[in-house]
Amino acid sequence: MACAGAQEHTAAEPGAAEGRLIYERDCLSCHMADGRGVPGMSPTLLGSPWINGSPEALIGFVLTGGFGPDILMGRFDFIPDVEMAALLTYLREAFAQPAADTGPITPELVARVRAQLP
């Protein structure tokens, strides 16, 4: 899915198209192709406050597997910064509310958030 006016990405900095492949590899089985999730097992990504909210919170949530005892998502801290940036950029492009201010997430931001996690 390319957006009009989307920036070109180098091989070292994948964009949302690469993020979609990572989503299909690591997230699709729980959140489904359309992002609606599986009722009672995994929540929808459509309009999620995590997707629509701050990029730092989203990065922390996915790296740690969520916050709180009722979250059943596994940690995704094994995904390298470049791939995580592409994945989260794709999530925001594909599943955010249309009015949400959801620009691309950079590998540098992922690295900063990762460094702050326990």
Superfamily of structural domain 16-116:
Cytochrome c-like domain (1.10.760.10)
User: What is the C-alpha to C-alpha distance for residues 99 and 25, in angstroms, rounded to an integer?
Assistant: 28
% of the chain with per-residue pLDDT over 90 = 65
Nearest to 37 by CA among 18, 103, 47, 56: 47
pLDDT higher than threshold 50 for residue 2: no
- Residue 109: phi and psi, rounded to 5, are -65, -40
Enumerate the domain spans of the chain. 16-116
Q: How many other C-beta atoms lie within 10 A of the C-beta of residue 31?
A: 23
Range of lowest pLDDT (2-6, 36-40, 46-50, 112-116): 2-6
DSSP codes, 59-71: HHHHHHT-SSTT-
pTM of the model: 0.83
